[in-house]
Structure 1
Amino acid sequence: MSCPNCVRGVVLPGEPKGVMRSASDLTVDAYLASPKPAAEQWAPSTHAIVLLTDIFGLNLVNSKIMADRFSQELGCDVWVPNLFFFWILITRLPTVFRNKPSKAAARATQFIERIRGEYKYTHVGAVGYCYGGSVLYQVAATKLIESAVIAHPGGYKDDQLKAIRVPVSWALAEDDDNIKQKQIDHAEALFAERKGKDNYVDYEFKVYPGTAHGFAARPNLAYPEVKAGFEGAFEQAVQWFKKTLF
């Protein structure tokens, strides 16, 4: 899973309003966005969202700003775990191997198990961008979450999609070397084949015109189509969680 747009993008405006929680409290360091004002003592909400980042991880402020916004829109806690061994962009091959999606998925499932047990969330959803979308293929095959949103992920294997067991919404780029229109059509067909069967899950696919890989996480808002795609994908996720999680 690699393309030039995986390591390109623009920093979103704004400053994070949440807090960092240390690995000593959890399984990994994580950013926590809460719908309550920072001055108030935090108490867990009943529902939670876990945001799985692109390869920039928590180094790039975008994931934190988006978590803050999701928290306010949905009125629940939003967690952004650091799934990487290092707080650096994953570009060198040894680091890529230690942080390939299958390994990060194991850390993500451990993290979700921990917060569900510790904070007694009744429902948990997950949204994954780019690398995080590929991680979510595997997380969505577990019973740890109730709903998923996947945005411009890496390529997939049929078995990965067939294993997904929760409602899933896809936000996709018109121009993406990782997942082209032919692959999008095939993925949608795999979910359509489940209709009327015990393993059917609700799903939707949306492709945003004028966008490239990374648009939902690192958009250049100076371009109207990119801005429209970013806002559209964000609202798509909000509405999906309202429909399937709350």
Structure 2
Amino acid sequence: MSCPNCFTGSVLEGEPTGVISEIDGAYFASCPSDGNPDSKRAIILLTDAFGLKLQNSKILADQFAQHLKCDVWVPDFFAGKPPVTVEQMRSLPDRAGIKFGFWDVLVFIARVLPSAPSLLITNRSSVVDGRTVSFVQKLQERKKYDNIGVIGYCFGGGIAARVGATTSMFNSIVLVHPSPPTDDHLKAIKAPTAWSMPEEDMGGISPARLEEIKRFYATRKGKDTYVDYEIKVYKGLRCVRFCLSFTRWKN
């Protein structure tokens, strides 16, 4: 799924310090030297529609590795051809309360059209999900991690939800402004799930839908089907792709 915020954002400062691995060209940020060298846990970061061409996901992976003291992998589920290019990035409303006008809609349509074949055909859900599953299988053949957590951003959040619903590969799931999962996906996910949501999720999950999701989780409390969860809404943010000058949330 694509939304206007697949085409917006800022480039993070700094340079990636990890490497491109031999496993399907995934980016790898290794556990730091002050971590446990025998650790058998890892994080898989699933990117937004910019994929690995945008350095942001690599820099985030480096930061996660440093703070969480574990290996972090960023698979290239677009096979080197992400549907959205860095050149398509432009600034749209970056915080809640700023309207997305008619002209902005026209601009978005003009920008998304070149990416439509890639989003709808080349990188449709079944394809990127399959590449992700294949990557995790290859990774486990080599690394044999005991625990794998997944963090999915926007487009990657949809993959995390779908793969989390149809496999038992992930021991924990973090969804950040994800492509909207279906009720069937929510029911099928067995791993603890944390949601990081903006106040306004244009083109994604509406406040009303988020309330439905909260009620869905709440109704399972005390039942065998209950799964640990957390839903956090960051007030003032728009689609978790905020302006870096918005210091309230930058850190």
Q: Deviations over 1:166-225 (max 9, x none)?
A: 00000001111211111111111112222222221100100001111142xxx4210124
| Mean CA deviation greater in 190-199 or 131-140 | 190-199
Q: Secondary structure at the match of 2:31?
A: coil
Q: Which residue of 2 aligns with 1:111?
A: 135
Supply the distance in 2 between the matched residues of 1:194 and 1:110 (Cα, whole angstroms). 32
Supply the distance in 1 between the matched residues of 2:183 and 2:214 (Cα, whole angstroms). 11
Deviation >4 Å, runs of 4+: none
Count of paired positions: 216
Flag the 1:202–1:121 CA change in 2: closer, same or farther, 3 A.
same
Q: Which has the larger radius of gyration?
A: 2
Supply the distance in 1 between the matched residues of 2:17 and 2:38 (Cα, whole angstroms). 16
Q: Deviations over 1:26-74 (max 9, x none)?
A: 2x2100001235xxxxx77411000000000001101000000100111
2:40 to 46, 55, 60: 46
The code of the aligned residue for 2:209 comes to Q
Q: Which residue of 2 aligns with 1:21?
A: 21
The code of the aligned residue for 1:205 comes to I
Q: Is the 8 A contact 1:44 1:119 kept in 2?
A: no
1:89 to 83, 88, 91: 83
| Aligned: 1:164 with 2:189 | yes
| Unmatched tracts of structure 1, length 5 or more | 38-42, 232-246
What is the Cα deviation at residue 2 of structure 1? 2.5
Residue identity (%): 43
Normalising by the residue count of structure 2, what TM-score does the alignment of the two structures yield? Answer: 0.81
What is the Cα deviation at residue 84 of structure 1? 0.5
The code of the aligned residue for 2:15 comes to E
| Aligned: 1:203 with 2:229 | yes
| Aligned: 1:66 with 2:66 | no
Supply the distance in 2 between the matched residues of 1:144 and 1:200 (Cα, whole angstroms). 19
| Mean CA deviation greater in 71-80 or 196-205 | 196-205
The code of the aligned residue for 2:210 comes to I
Supply the distance in 2 between the matched residues of 1:224 and 1:72 (Cα, whole angstroms). 22
What is the Cα deviation at residue 77 of structure 1? 0.3
Normalising by the residue count of structure 1, what TM-score does the alignment of the two structures yield? Answer: 0.83
Q: Secondary structure at the match of 1:140?
A: helix
Q: Which residue of 2 aligns with 1:235?
A: none
Q: Is the 8 A contact 1:162 1:191 kept in 2?
A: no
